[in-house]
């Protein structure tokens, strides 16, 4: 950490005469690494918007139809549960279960802003589609978090051990990575699906996580391989630090960037993986609900009842997109080479500063 | 080098052994393949059950049964591999010999398109870093990155197939569509070319208005229902191709090269009628091959005629131009047959299918109909696959290009006074391709293992379909065969990627320390 920081200071010193460097110098002076990264992340507009959006979606989704996690059940504020089966709405000739959501206000010729009984419509047998989509989105978020945690943990540990100790352990672990890498996901998923019936999303996510850490392990290993040769590791060793302390206190904080970024990206791909598996019938199975499952059920009704198809897809895309943007913001924040593009005003300001500096140097 | 490769192959085989053992047992553990027969009340169920147990050795426990299967696979060294039979009793190689070509046909166009478009856009985006175009492309690639392919597939079926077929019944383009498309085109090209604010506005309006006029003309002349390029189209495209190829390959300063490309375009236009006639009368793959050889020959001769010194780049430009002009002629020939194809009974005016890999009512003898039929069936899955993998290529090539542009040798090249074109095409672009090449190799291997979802959604029976079928029916031998092919390809691709990396970038040595 400390050396990293000092290296930063050296480059800043060299670039003090160049316009952008001068400004950057002012920005990072007297701040810790964490503060700089946080400041950079907060400046990434896409990532910030995405973070608030994702948070809002998560709160909305979990509070609306309630949730039942590890035996604690929280009721939701939405009037229908996913098991309720009210009568089907007859709306147009031959089409049932239309959405009652309306967003076009009356003065624009619409039906006014209101939710109605079933804002997202109803499915084939009358279930409220809003409740189903909310439950599906809950599943997606839950799977994303569990899978990300499991895969992130295994990947980091394996990568760290492999990169730090090298030699035989490294060889063995990397062969294990190769080994898992060539086993297609559908096979473990099918085993859970068929053998254990539906053990629920938590187990599905855990099981998939066990097969999903390989890419991360390789990246972390590469990072550890290069970090362990740095001077601050030697310094720590000379000072008498043991392996555990060096790994956790000295190397891991420096590799945190690459881990956080890649776990985020891994989470976004986990949502797509889950929905794809459910779509094929190997992921979340009925009677449980998942966004991929909803799309797969109603893909043929697109011409007559498109809303059954739009809503789950919309939620998959928005959740994945926001997670991706957060990952991108984190990547920019952690990348020391990343230079921000200066606005025109800032550029003029720094130009002025350099001019006055030169004038005072000449004078 | 040899020691390195043989060690890698040895390790790969060990991994293959371990993972195939695991997969075999997982599959055996996942369910009972005889479930449906055991519960069946049909009188023949009992004999079927016994037959199945005998042919598939189901009375032997899975870990031991694996070695029977392995013995069959190892017979590959004696020349006749034995992968067993599937549950219906068909031999596995027969199944694979149908599925593998199907999958390759499905993924090759999509992968190539995604690579070419992705790299092009990624590099332009890197060259215009932090411009509006760059931001827009980042946004688009993020968006595509977040799309579930099965969702895209359903949308494509609706809008690209059903709506387009409806549109083809009269070929009239709506006013709103023309306006939206023109604005989009204006934005795109203004972003790509960029420059001062005044220039950007000029480009925006220029491209937008040209686009609107073009679409309107096409709509009024019913071009979409009766598409054709004709000799004038070939000539115009030929000139544009000559310009673009010279620009990319040697730069316009090389007068001989530009002249060679232009003369190639004119030669192509002159040869339009004979080429079209021969292709139309004797359409076959052999004829296409001869056509390609002739194109190459004409390109080389033409290039050599114009080149006095420094022949290679001029011949290269000429050959590239020749191929693209020949491709335009080929497209024109397809268009000639299009309207007849659309009006056949089998197609009945709705040429873009939503399902399947070919229309078996098309008369098999007609070469051009078969080609058009294959292409139309490929359209939707290709677009879906391209959209999905395009995004990652944009991101990789953008990142890679930015990395290269920051290198010292680019600064040196600039300091030497080389033109921007030379710096980008010769110094930056080639180095950008090094990391991308290895990604391409790995991607290809992964995708041949089955574009599982694409195949399911569009009803193709390739590797992915076989794989899903094997899992659903607990068909052990079928599953193992698909697994074997996928994993072998992955391992080979990994090895190839590492070797390629060291060939392309001499600083990296494989096997050494």
Q: How far separated are the first and last CA of chain B, in Å rounded?
A: 13
CA–CA gap between residue A240 and residue B146 (Å, rounded): 48
* Residue in the block written with tokens 């480009």: B203
Neighbours of B425 (CB within 10 A): 16
pLDDT above 70 as % of chain A: 75
Please report, to the nearest 10 degrees, the dihedral formed by the alpha carbons of residues B430, B492, A169, A238 taken in order.
-10
User: What's the pLDDT score for residue A108?
Assistant: 65
pLDDT score at B496: 87
Q: Residue A92: enclosing H or E segment and its boundaries? A: strand A90-92
CB contact under 8 A, A195 and B30: yes
Q: Rounded to whole angstroms, how far apart are CA atoms B300 and B283?
A: 25
Residue A225 contacts B where some CB pair is shorter than 8 Å: no
| Contact flag B19-A183 (C-beta cutoff 8 Å) | yes
Whether A194 and B26 lie within 8 Å, measured CB to CB: no
A92 contact B CB<8A: no
- Per-residue model confidence (pLDDT) at position B416: 92
Q: Are strands A72-74 and A95-96 parallel, antiparallel or unpaired?
A: unpaired
The reported pLDDT for the residue numbered B238 is 92
Predicted-complex ipTM score: 0.80
Question: What is the end-to-end Cα distance of chain A in Å, rounded?
Answer: 40
What's the CA gap between B58 and B66, in Å, rounded? 11
Tell whether the model's pLDDT for residue B194 goes beyond 80: no
Four-CA torsion B217, B222, B228, B232, nearest 10 degrees: -30
- In this prediction, residue A16 carries a pLDDT of 41
Helix or strand run (H / E) with residue B288 = helix B285-306
Six-digit token pair at A221? 């290993």
Residue that the structure tokens 């710096």 belong to: B423
How does residue A162 score in pLDDT terms, banded at 50, 70 and 90?
very high
Over 80: is that where the pLDDT of B8 sits?
Answer: yes
Of residues B145, B154, B487, nearest to A324 (C-beta):
B145
From the CB of residue B358, how many other CB atoms can be counted at a distance below 10 Å? 16
Any chain B CB within 8 A of the CB of A294?
no
Of residues B211, B215, B219, B232, the one with CA closest to residue B332:
B232
Angle between helices B311-342 and B367-405 (to 10 degrees): 140
Which helix (DSSP H) or strand (DSSP E) does residue A67 occupy? strand A67-69
Quote the CA–CA distance of B432 and B454 in Å, as a whole number. 30
The alpha carbon of residue B203 and the mean position of all alpha carbons in its chain are separated, in whole angstroms, by: 31
Q: Is there a contact between A184 and B467 if contact means CB atoms under 8 Å apart? A: yes
Q: What is the mean pLDDT of residues A196-201?
A: 68
**In this complex, do B30 and A191 lie within 8 Å of one another by their Cβ atoms?**
yes
At residue A279 the predicted structure's pLDDT band, cuts being 50, 70 and 90, is: confident
**From B154, B472, B479, residue closest to A299, measured CB to CB:** B154
Instruction: Spell out the residues 6+ positions from residue B141 whose beta carbon is closer than 8 angstroms to its own.
Output: B390, B391, B392, B394, B395
Contact between A245 and A17 (Cβ < 8 Å): no
pLDDT, tens digit (0-9, with 9 covering 90-100), for B289-331: 999 999 999 999 998 888 888 888 889 999 999 999 999 999 9
CB of A313 within 8 Å of a chain B CB? The answer is: yes
Give backbone dihedrals phi and psi of A305, rounded to 5 degrees, phi first.
Answer: -130, 70
The more confident residue out of A194 and B292 is: B292
pLDDT tens string A47-70:
899 999 999 998 888 888 777 666
pLDDT value at residue A2: 35
Condensed to tens digits (0 to 9), the pLDDT of residues B107-148 reads 888 889 999 999 999 999 998 887 878 888 888 888 888 888
The pLDDT, as a whole number, for residue A28 is: 64
All residues of chain A having their beta carbon less than 8 Å from the beta carbon of residue B494 are 178
Average pLDDT over residues A196-204: 72
Q: Does A42 touch chain B (CB under 8 A)?
A: no
DSSP B37-66: HHH---TTHHHHHHHHHHHHTTTS-HHHHH
Lowest mean pLDDT among B38-52, B230-244, B480-494: B38-52
Band the pLDDT of B52: cuts 50, 70, 90: confident
The answer to whether B154 contacts A295, with C-beta atoms less than 8 Å apart, is yes
Q: Is the dihedral of CA B290, B291, B294, B300 positive or negative?
A: negative
- Report the pLDDT value the prediction gives residue B451, as an integer from 0 to 100: 79
pLDDT higher for A324 or B48? Answer: A324
Average pLDDT, chain B: 85
Pairwise pLDDT comparison (B34 vs A235), residue with the higher score: A235
Residue B242: is its pLDDT beyond 90?
A: yes
Q: What is the mean pLDDT of residues B269-277?
A: 88
Q: What is the mean pLDDT of residues B80-92?
A: 75
Q: Which chain A residue has its CA at the smallest distance from B490's CA? A: A182
Chain B contact set for A316 (CB, 8 A): 146, 148, 151
Lowest mean pLDDT among A217-221, B70-74, B373-377, B417-421: B70-74
CB contact under 8 A, A186 and B162: no
**More confidently predicted of B477 and A120:** B477
Between chains, do A295 and B468 touch, taking CB under 8 Å as contact?
A: no
Residue A102 phi, psi (nearest 5): -140, 130
Percent of chain B with pLDDT over 70: 98
Distances (CA, A) of A343 to A23, A27, A239: 12, 15, 46
What is the average pLDDT across B474-490? 86
Residue of A175, A309, A328 lying closest to B11 (CB–CB): A175
The per-residue pLDDT for B195 is 74
Backbone angles phi, psi at A90, to 5 degrees: -95, 120
* pLDDT digit string, tens, across residues B436-451: 887 888 787 777 766 7
pLDDT the model gives residue A343: 55
Find residues 9-68 of chain B whose CB sits inside 8 Å of chain A. 11-12, 14-16, 18-19, 22-23, 26-27, 29-31
**B149 contacts A317? CB cut-off 8 A:** no
For residue B21, CA distances in Å to A70, A263, B35, B466, B485 come to 36, 30, 23, 20, 15
Within the 158-217 window of chain B, which residues sit less than 8 Å (CB to CB) from chain A? 158, 162
Out of A103-107, B217-221, B483-487, B500-504, pick the least confident: A103-107
Burial grade of A214 (CB within 10 A; 0-12, 13-18, 19 or more): buried
Give the closest of A175, A191, A321 to B15, CB-based. A175
Instruction: Determine, for residues B29 and A309 on separate chains, whether the beta-carbon distance falls below 8 Å.
Output: no
Query: Which CA distances in Å does A122 have to A60, A133, A304, A310?
Result: 20, 11, 13, 13
* Lookup: tokens for B80: 């006749």
Tell me what pLDDT residue B513 has. Answer: 42
Residue A238 confidence class, pLDDT cut points 50, 70, 90: very high
* CA–CA dist A189, A178 (Å, integer): 19
pLDDT score of B481 more than 80: yes
Determine which of B84-93, B382-391, B432-441, B493-502 has the lowest per-residue pLDDT on average: B84-93
Instruction: Give the model's pLDDT for residue A132.
Output: 86
pLDDT at A3: 37
Given this model, what pLDDT does residue A347 score?
63
Q: Looking at the predicted structure, is the pLDDT value of residue A359 above 70?
A: no
A127 in Cβ contact with A82 (< 8 Å): yes
Q: With beta carbons less than 8 A apart as the criterion, state whether B151 and A318 touch.
A: no
pLDDT tens digits for B399-437? 889 888 888 999 999 999 988 888 998 889 988 888 888
Are B143 and A321 an interchain contact pair (Cβ–Cβ within 8 Å)? yes
Lowest mean per-residue pLDDT among A187-191, A358-362, B501-505: A358-362
Predicted pLDDT of residue A109: 64
Handedness of CA B142, B145, B150, B153 (dihedral sign): positive
Give the pair of three-digit tokens for residue B344: 């056949």
């Amino acid at each position: 950490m400390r050396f990293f920081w000092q290296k930063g200071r050296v480059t800043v010193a060299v670039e003090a005469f160049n316009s952008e460097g001068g400004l950057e110098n002012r920005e990072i002076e007297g701040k810790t690494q964490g503060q700089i990264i946080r400041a950079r992340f907060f400046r990434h507009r896409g990532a910030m918007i995405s973070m608030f959006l994702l948070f809002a979606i998560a709160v909305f989704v979990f509070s609306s139809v309630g949730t039942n996690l590890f035996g604690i059940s929280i009721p939701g504020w939405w009037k229908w549960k996913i098991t309720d089966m009210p009568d089907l709405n007859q709306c147009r000739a031959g089409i049932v279960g239309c959405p009652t959501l309306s967003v076009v206000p009356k003065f624009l010729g619409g039906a006014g802003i209101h939710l109605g009984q079933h804002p997202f419509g109803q499915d084939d047998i009358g279930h409220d589609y809003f409740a189903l989509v909310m439950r599906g989105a809950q599943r997606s978020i839950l799977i994303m978090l569990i899978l990300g945690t499991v895969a992130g943990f295994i990947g980091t540990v394996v990568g760290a051990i492999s990169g730090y100790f090298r030699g035989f352990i490294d060889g063995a672990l990397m062969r294990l990575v190769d080994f898992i890498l060539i086993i297609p996901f559908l096979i473990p998923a099918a085993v859970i699906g068929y053998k254990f019936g539906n053990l629920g999303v938590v187990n599905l996510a855990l099981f998939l996580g066990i097969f999903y850490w390989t890419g991360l392990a390789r990246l972390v290993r590469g990072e550890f391989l290069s970090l362990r040769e740095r001077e601050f590791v030697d310094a720590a060793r000379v000072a008498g630090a043991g392996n555990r302390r060096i790994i956790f206190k000295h190397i891991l904080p420096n590799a945190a960037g690459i881990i956080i970024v890649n776990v985020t990206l891994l989470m976004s791909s986990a949502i797509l993986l889950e929905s794809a598996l459910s779509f094929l019938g190997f992921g979340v199975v009925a009677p449980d609900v998942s966004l991929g499952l909803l799309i797969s059920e109603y893909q043929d009704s697109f011409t007559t009842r498109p809303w059954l198809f739009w809503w789950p897809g919309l939620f998959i895309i928005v959740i994945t997109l926001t997670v991706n943007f957060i990952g991108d913001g984190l990547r920019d924040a952690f990348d020391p080479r990343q230079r921000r593009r200066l606005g025109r005003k800032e550029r003029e300001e720094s130009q002025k500063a350099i001019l006055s500096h030169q004038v005072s140097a000449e004078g | 080098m040899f020691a390195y490769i043989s060690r890698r192959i040895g390790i790969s085989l060990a991994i293959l052994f371990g993972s195939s053992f695991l997969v075999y047992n997982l599959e055996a553990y996942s369910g009972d393949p005889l479930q449906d027969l055991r519960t069946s009340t049909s009188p023949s169920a009992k004999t079927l059950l016994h037959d199945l147990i005998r042919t598939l050795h189901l009375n032997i426990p899975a870990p031991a049964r694996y070695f029977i299967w392995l013995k069959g696979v190892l017979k590959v060294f004696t020349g006749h591999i034995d992968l067993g039979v599937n549950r219906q009793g068909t031999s596995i190689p027969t199944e694979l010999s149908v599925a593998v070509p199907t999958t390759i046909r499905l993924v090759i166009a999509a992968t190539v398109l995604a690579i070419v478009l992705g790299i092009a856009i990624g590099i332009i985006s890197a060259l215009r870093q932090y411009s509006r175009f760059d931001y827009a492309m980042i946004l688009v690639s993020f968006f595509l990155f977040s799309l579930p392919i099965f969702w895209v597939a359903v949308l494509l079926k609706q809008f690209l197939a059903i709506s387009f077929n409806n549109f083809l019944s009269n070929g009239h383009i709506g006013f709103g569509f023309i306006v939206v498309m023109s604005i989009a085109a204006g934005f795109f090209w203004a972003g790509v070319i960029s420059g001062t604010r005044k220039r950007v506005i000029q480009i925006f309006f220029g491209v937008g208005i040209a686009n609107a006029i073009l679409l309107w003309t096409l709509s009024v002349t019913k071009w979409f229902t009766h598409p054709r390029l004709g000799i004038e189209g070939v000539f115009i495209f030929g000139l544009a191709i000559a310009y673009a190829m010279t620009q990319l390959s040697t730069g316009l300063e090389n007068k001989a090269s530009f002249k060679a490309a232009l003369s190639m375009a004119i030669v192509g236009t002159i040869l339009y009628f004979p080429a079209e006639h021969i292709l139309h009368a004797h359409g076959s793959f052999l004829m296409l091959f001869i056509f390609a050889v002739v194109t190459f020959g004409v390109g080389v001769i033409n290039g050599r005629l114009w080149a006095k010194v420094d022949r290679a780049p001029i011949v290269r430009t000429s050959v590239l131009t020749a191929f693209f002009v020949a491709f335009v002629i080929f497209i024109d020939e397809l268009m000639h047959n299009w309207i007849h194809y659309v009006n056949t009974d089998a197609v009945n005016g709705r040429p873009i299918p939503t399902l399947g890999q070919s229309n078996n009512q098309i008369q098999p003898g007609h070469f051009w109909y078969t080609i058009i039929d294959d292409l139309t069936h490929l359209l939707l899955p290709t677009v879906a696959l391209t959209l999905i993998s395009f995004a990652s290529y944009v991101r990789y090539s953008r990142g890679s290009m930015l990395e290269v542009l920051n290198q010292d040798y680019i600064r040196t090249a600039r300091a030497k006074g080389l033109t921007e074109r030379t710096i980008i095409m010769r110094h930056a672009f080639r180095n950008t391709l090094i990391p991308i090449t290895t990604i391409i190799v790995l991607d290809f291997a992964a995708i041949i293992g089955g574009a599982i979802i694409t195949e399911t959604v569009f009803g193709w029976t390739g590797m992915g379909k076989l794989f899903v079928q094997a899992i659903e029916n607990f068909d052990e031998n079928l599953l193992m065969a698909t697994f074997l092919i996928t994993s072998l390809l992955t391992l080979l691709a990994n090895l190839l990627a590492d070797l390629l990396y060291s060939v392309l970038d001499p600083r990296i040595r494989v096997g050494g320390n």
